[in-house]
Amino acid sequence: MFLSRKKHRRESKMLEIDDYKNAEKVNEARRRNRSLRRQFLKYKDAEIVYSLTHRKLLEMADEAGAIYRVDGTVLINRDIFDDYLEQFHQKPCTYSVYTKRKQPGQDGKEQT
């Protein structure tokens, strides 16, 4: 009986070590995927990534100077396009300005 408990503890420690190693591998894979992100996207892929229509994407990528043409294939440089998109970034707390409604009596007229 005593030997089986000892064996069980050893096996559970081994499982914990294996779980830890697997978690490390998953985290390492995530880090590698982030670093290996594609630099150039085809139009169809860019439309999905940026949730823009073909026409709007073409217009914005052209303004950004992010378009590359290679043998009839149009590619968008993701880094250049991302930098261009940053100019449209909305500052925090500006949405609340639009949602504030005038309270009765604020427009200078008296309520009757």
Q: What pLDDT was estimated at residue 80?
A: 93
| Best CATH choice for the domain 38-87 from the list 1.10.10, 1.10.3470, 3.90.320, 3.30.2000 | 1.10.10
Q: What pLDDT was estimated at residue 106?
A: 57
> Over the range 50-89, which residues count as b (16 or more CB within 10 Å of their CB) and which as e?
bebeeeebbebbeebebbeeeeeeebbbbebbeebeeeee
Is residue 53 a contact partner of residue 74, using CB atoms and an 8 Å limit?
A: no
pLDDT in tens, 22-72: 777 777 777 776 655 678 999 899 999 999 999 999 999 999 999 999 999
Q: What pLDDT was estimated at residue 95?
A: 65
Q: What pLDDT was estimated at residue 28?
A: 78
pTM listed for this prediction: 0.52
Q: What percent of the chain has pLDDT over 90?
A: 37
pLDDT in tens, 58-93: 999 999 999 999 999 999 999 999 999 999 888 777
Is residue 43 a contact partner of residue 76, using CB atoms and an 8 Å limit?
A: yes
The number of angstroms, rounded, from the C-alpha of 54 to the middle of its chain's C-alpha atoms is: 20
Domain ranges of the chain: 8-37, 38-87
